[in-house]
Structure 1
Amino acid sequence: MADAEYVNIWMRPERPAYGPKPAYSRAQITEAAIRIADAEGMEAATMRRIAAEIGAGAMSLYRYVPSRDNLVELMADRVMGEIDVTGMPSGDWRADLTRYADGLRAMWLRHPWIATVQRSLPSFGPNQLLLIERLTGVLDAFVSIDENLGLIAMLNSYIEGTVREEISSAKEFRRIGLSESEWMARSYPYVDQLVKSGKYPMFTKIVMEARQPHLSRDDQFRNGLQRILDCIAAALPSNGRVSEGSRD
């Protein structure tokens, strides 16, 4: 059952209409929370810890940020503001979506805690709204709004799925104390045994022929992104297509 008293954080005034100026701001609280989460993970960004970071009483922060969910909304919207969508749409949809994809991936890698708080229900903060306006504006001239939303969802699913795996892998390598190349070297005897068994022809083909697993993370991401952009291109009318020479 919905909370009849719920008020969206973006509808709550940051300071009362009357009375003394607040000692702190949502921006201060949000920035402190992000610093803590970047260094130690989202679970470390408690109200008590944030209060200590900015020199406030823990309970006093609830006057500015009423709940943990509100804090997450503020943090997520703040880091979305790091994605540069200036000048979009530029008229070159492929370049625009590539720039957005690179920016979203870079933001997730700077703030890996975002993978633990990314939510399906949007909060429509100011930075998220700017992204919506600019990103959907890129394809607006070519397709209906429903097709537009579907294509952007496909793009976002690729970016977030790929970078989520990248963050998870990096965390696992740190846990076991090995680099990716060291882990592959350690795994080689078993992989060699599987290949020589002759029981797994497709696995053997991957091991012997696939180039993708040996690329850098950047190159893997870019190759996959080009395939997604090819799929988007196929869904656009001819006036939305780009020449082969402009894809590289």
Structure 2
Amino acid sequence: MADSAEIVASIRRRIVAGELKPGDRVPSTRQITRQWGVAMATATRVLTTLRQEGLVTARPGIGTVVASGLPSVAAPTRPRVPSPEVTRADVVRAAIVIADAEGSAALSMRRVATELGVATMSLYRHVPSKDELVAQMIDTAFADHPFTSPPPPDWLEAAEAGARRLWLIFRRHPWVAPAMSLTRPQVTPNALAYGEWVMSAMHAAGLGARHIFQVHLTLFSYVRGLAISLEPEAVAEQETGITYTEFVDAQGDTYHSLMSSGAYPTFHTVVTRADFDLDLDEQFEFGLRHLLAGLAGLPSAGGPVRLR
């Protein structure tokens, strides 16, 4: 079984030789564990060492890739010198890049410190805990997608716009949906600003306070519930290299074996006739349209709202 130094040397040689070029993905932690037969901790240490040497970097939505401006010799460069200029915003942004690229499971205070080239303990001057770091990451994600104009007078239009903005945030940052809690919500300024924008339109239309809160929670729960599937799918595809379609195709034998038993006739008929490929964006549109249609009957100061 190889140790981390041997694996680092192997990947380093491929990078320096030009076999892996800037922007190319390097083996993920899951691929390293399979290829070299090592534990996940060893695989993580390999990628961390390569990052410290400046050979690879995390790229949102892609994974760990070969960095640009590589050293021209095979010898590793020195680890980056800790910078006294690191700010709280730097810590939060670095954490977001890691979570976007590799999923929330890859996020740790030590990992963020490695990306910034500082001591792990120095991060605690900016964020007292990982939970606080995640809360700040959520707040920043909402801050990056603000509402820049007042809500429309039609509260249903505002509710739809709010749901779409939430879906956009979850799409850009797949870790946000599972990180947010309905029962123990993170109270942050920009997440509250989102809720304020949506609920103010309902309040102006004359909906009662209880209905306002219930509509807001219903829409949030719908969008978040669908978006929770985004991160595990992205991580699974990154680590295995198998797309959703390829995964479904690989289940063909098992599916046909179960269907041949005759125990699931309706399921088989529906799946066969629907000609359906799961598209989360399409499912979001379908669910939102019908959810808004149901909410349209709520009484307000102007009577029941009608969908246009």
TM-score normalized with structure 2 length = 0.63
**Which residue in the other structure is 2:201 paired with?**
138
Cα distance in structure 2, aligned partners of 1:56 and 1:170:
29
Q: 1:55 to 1:86 in 2, by over 3 A?
A: same
Q: Is residue 244 of structure 2 the alignment partner of residue 183 of structure 1?
A: no
Quote the offset at 1:158 in angstroms. 0.8
Number of equivalences: 222
Q: Is residue 119 of structure 2 the alignment partner of residue 57 of structure 1?
A: yes
Cα distance in structure 1, aligned partners of 2:185 and 2:270:
39
Quote the offset at 1:58 in angstroms. 2.8
Cα distance in structure 2, aligned partners of 1:186 and 1:218:
23
**Which residue in the other structure is 1:47 paired with?**
109
Quote the offset at 1:116 in angstroms. 4.2
**Which residue in the other structure is 1:26 paired with?**
88
**Which residue in the other structure is 2:281 paired with?**
218
Structure 1 contact 29–50 (Cα < 8 Å) conserved = yes
Structure 2 contact 92–136 (Cα < 8 Å) conserved = yes
Structure 2 contact 180–186 (Cα < 8 Å) conserved = no
Structure 1 contact 84–100 (Cα < 8 Å) conserved = no
**Which residue in the other structure is 1:147 paired with?**
211
Cα distance in structure 2, aligned partners of 1:166 and 1:54:
27
**Which residue in the other structure is 1:4 paired with?**
none
User: Gapped runs of 5+ residues in structure 2?
Assistant: 1-83
Structure 2 contact 151–198 (Cα < 8 Å) conserved = yes
Identity %: 32
**Which residue in the other structure is 1:156 paired with?**
220
Q: Deviations over 1:110-151 (max 9, x none)?
A: 222224422332332210121121121121123111111111
**Which residue in the other structure is 2:270 paired with?**
206
- The structure that has the greater radius of gyration is 2
User: Gapped runs of 5+ residues in structure 1?
Assistant: 1-21
Question: Higher helix share goes to which structure?
Answer: 1
SS of the aligned residue for 1:105 comes to helix
Cα distance in structure 2, aligned partners of 1:44 and 1:171:
10
Quote the offset at 1:48 in angstroms. 3.2
SS of the aligned residue for 1:178 comes to coil
Q: Does 1 or 2 have the higher relative contact order (CA < 8 Å, sep 6+)?
A: 1
Letter of the 2:215 partner, please give it. L
Q: 1:85 to 1:242 in 2, by over 3 A?
A: farther
Deviates more, 1:226-235 or 1:49-58: 49-58
Cα distance in structure 2, aligned partners of 1:42 and 1:166:
12
Cα distance in structure 2, aligned partners of 1:175 and 1:53:
20
Cα distance in structure 2, aligned partners of 1:201 and 1:51:
55
SS of the aligned residue for 2:268 comes to helix
Structure 1 contact 51–57 (Cα < 8 Å) conserved = yes
Letter of the 1:200 partner, please give it. Y
Following superposition of structure 1 onto structure 2, how do residues 10-159 of structure 1 map, counting pairs within 5 Å? Answer: 23-119=85-181, 120-140=183-203, 141-159=205-223
Q: Deviations over 1:138-177 (max 9, x none)?
A: 2112311111111111111110111112433344445554
Cα distance in structure 1, aligned partners of 2:146 and 2:306:
23
Cα distance in structure 2, aligned partners of 1:142 and 1:32:
43
Structure 2 contact 156–292 (Cα < 8 Å) conserved = yes
Quote the offset at 1:94 in angstroms. 3.2
Q: Deviations over 1:21-52 (max 9, x none)?
A: x9443222211221222223334433333334
Cα distance in structure 2, aligned partners of 1:225 and 1:75:
26
